Structure 1
């Protein structure tokens, strides 16, 4: 069993230094946070070995440096692909329908939104949604029914408002 207390103490003593080191290595604070987090996750998975290492902080620093090197290799490969194929085409802005649907979905209660998304985006049955959410099948049916009704009402209102605005112009 891993010793969570000793790992927590190690983390408290070294995290600031390792974050500074990560930032110095990659030059981007968000990327540094990701790499430091991944290095600590690896240290936790191998905590018995790391804790017994003569220099545990050096082990994490080496892991961090290797993760950064892997990142640079992936970026170099990506740059090679881009140089051969060119950048991807620009992505078109979302359609009016997408904006209206997204806005309407955000107004639904979380459970209704989740049920509607699972049902329509992942083609999940009521029973599958019930298993995933831990709710009864009848509850899922209610969520779907209420979610569809609320979406229909909101989209109808939004469409009516949009049509009026278009005619007013």
Structure 2
């Protein structure tokens, strides 16, 4: 199909195809958009389309498939979000957590590490010593000094138990 015959095909078929797609999808604007898009795709394939293969049927099929795809996309957009793909909600830390984090920031990194490993990770002194590569006596000293350094910062936090 050359350019002139395609133009003639477009002018004689557009309104008829819009009416047909409108009857199928129930939305005149959607029908016009889908038929227009189908003709744009047909233009790219105009050399392969000939009158014997019913180019109108090809355009109608493409326009109908476009309207179905748009309907599906729009219906998915209006559905409630699937709980499995909901974004992970972030929660603000409570006042106790803020107080503990602030207190931990006041002690040395070495003391902070052993306190966290012991009290939050429930690791024994031997396990901590193995993980950080230090003697058990060093771990015990850091743990003792860390607890003593934390105590003044955690006095106002009633839920925190001193071990």
TM-score relative to the length of structure 2: 0.46
TM-score relative to the length of structure 1: 0.44
Rg larger in 1 or in 2?
2
